[in-house]
Structures are given as structure tokens and as C-alpha cells.
Amino acid sequence: MTAPILKQNRHPLQKLLCAIALSVWAASAAHAAPLVEPTLRLKADASGNVGRVALTLDACGGQTDTRILSALVENRIPATIFVTGIWLKRNAAAVEIMRAHPELFELENHGGRHIPAVDTPQKIYGIRSAGSPEAVRAEVESGAAALARTGEPAPKWFRGATAEYSPSAIAMIRKLGFKIAGFSINGDGGSLLGAKETARRIGAAKDGDVIIAHINQPTHAAGEGVVQGLLALKAKGLTFVRLDDADGVGNDGTTD
Ligand SMILES: [Zn+2]
């Protein structure tokens, strides 16, 4: 499109190439809808108790925060763990502990390679997006396949890396049979918050909240705050449920 056109009548091939370039541009412009970060909440607790919250922990890559894992086992706190194929490969001992407590841990799909489920090329928090519908599909399906290889039940929930999505990717993931796990409380700010602020955010959870935090950063201060926050909620009498056990309602077409 930038080459000078000398002749009045362009060569048919040149016209065709221009037409293709225009249609590609139009298609990508149509797809460049703003990204969404969906919310997920539980339906209100009908039992008359203090309330129910869902703890979701991402295992993106890296290692296992045994401070959190031990606290969950010792205090009988159920959690939904979103694991990637990368994390499963490197953390066999932690997977073993989770599988030994099926009443506590539900393992769900965080993708094969921790690539954001965004079907246009862009960077989200510095991470390159999948960039195409095919790549989103590969990320979702390879995550499910990695979980299947551990002998876990087939995952029903998906959460993409960075928890941001293009609306068209959401529609595709729903078609693949997964609900998409948003959240209502960002507990640890991507595991980058201090212990005190993390404990404050998690400790402030109320009936219906879905908390997100990370279980793959053993050296970060946030992990200590996750444990403190959870123990505070337990002391208040809140019940912890897994996404499997509750009716989670999300926006942006993520669960309906
Ligand atoms: Zn992640």
C-alpha cells in the first residue's frame, strides 16, 4: 500500500492485494474489542450461616507455596486450584498432596502454557497473548489434556493467564465446554502485594465472594498474607466452598 502507483490503472494483482490488505485490516479492527476481566460471585448463602466464600488459587508456573498448601490441609480449607501444564510438570509432590485430599482440592484448567486467552496479538501485563483463535483453543485444550494425564477428573472451569479475555475468546472457550472463572476479590495483586495488604483484602471477604490469589510463589511475602487472611475468615465462621460445589454466576457471558 505504500509503493508509489505510477500507472492510472493498477495491475489486477495489485488491486487484489490491496483488497486483501483492506479486508485483513477490517477484520482485525472488528476483533479489537476491549479486553474484559470478568467477575464471578456465588449465589447468596441460603443456610442462614455467616456466609460462603470460594478460594481460587492460581498455579501459573514456578513452584509451590507450601505455607499455603500446608495451611489448607491443616485447617481443612477447601480450594479450587487453577493449574497450568507447565506447573503440573514441575510440581509432582504438590500434585500428590492435592490428589491425596480430594475432599479439599479441586483442580481446574489454567491453560497449557500460561498464555492469555486473547485472540488478537497484544501484550497483557507484559505477557504475549495467544494472538489467534487457534492459539486460544490450543492453550485451553492443552491445559485440559495435562490435567487428564494426572488422572484428575476432566476440568469444568477455565481461567486464562492474566484473567483477561477478548469477548470472542470467551465465546470460544464456552463452546469448548468450560465455564470461565472470574473473581470478586483480587487477594494478592498477582502475588505482588505485601503480607499485610494481602491479609486485609482476603480477610474482608463476605458471603458470595470468589477470591483469587497465587500458590506458586513461595518466596513472595503475599503468601504469608494469604494464610493470615484465610485463618481470619475461618475464625469469623465463613464456610469455604469450591467452584464445583457452588453456583457461581459470572458476567460477560462467562457462566450462562
Ligand atoms: Zn496465572
pLDDT score for 49: 82
| Dist. CA 239 → ligand 1 center (Å) | 25
| Dist. CA 233 → ligand 1 center (Å) | 24
* pLDDT category of residue 19 using cuts at 50, 70 and 90: low
| Dist. CA 124 → ligand 1 center (Å) | 12
pLDDT at 103 over 80: yes
Q: For residue range 41-60, list pLDDT tens digits in order.
A: 999 878 778 899 999 999 99
- Taking the CB of residue 134, how many other CB atoms lie within 10 A of it? 10
pLDDT score for 2: 43
| Dist. CA 115 → ligand 1 center (Å) | 9
pLDDT score for 1: 40
pLDDT at 24 over 90: no
Q: Percentage of the chain surpassing pLDDT 90?
A: 82
| Dist. CA 126 → ligand 1 center (Å) | 13
pLDDT score for 12: 55
pLDDT at 29 over 50: no
| Dist. CA 85 → ligand 1 center (Å) | 11
Q: For residue range 177-230, list pLDDT tens digits in order.
A: 999 999 999 999 999 999 999 999 999 999 999 999 999 999 999 999 999 999
| Dist. CA 234 → ligand 1 center (Å) | 25
| Dist. CA 213 → ligand 1 center (Å) | 9
Interval 52-78 mean pLDDT: 98
| Dist. CA 58 → ligand 1 center (Å) | 5
pLDDT score for 47: 78
Structure pTM?
Answer: 0.87
pLDDT at 128 over 70: yes
| Dist. CA 157 → ligand 1 center (Å) | 14
Query: CA nearest 40: which of 202, 216, 163?
Result: 163
Interval 144-159 mean pLDDT: 95
Mean pLDDT taken over the chain: 90
Q: Average the pLDDT over each of 18-22, 97-101, 229-233 and give the range with the smallest value.
A: 18-22
| Dist. CA 31 → ligand 1 center (Å) | 24
pLDDT score for 30: 46
Grid cell 505504500 is found at: 2
| Dist. CA 62 → ligand 1 center (Å) | 10
pLDDT score for 44: 86
| Dist. CA 235 → ligand 1 center (Å) | 29
**Identity of the residue numbered 204:** A
| Dist. CA 37 → ligand 1 center (Å) | 13
> Terminus-to-terminus CA distance in the chain, angstroms?
44
| Dist. CA 163 → ligand 1 center (Å) | 8
- Taking the CB of residue 82, how many other CB atoms lie within 10 A of it? 29
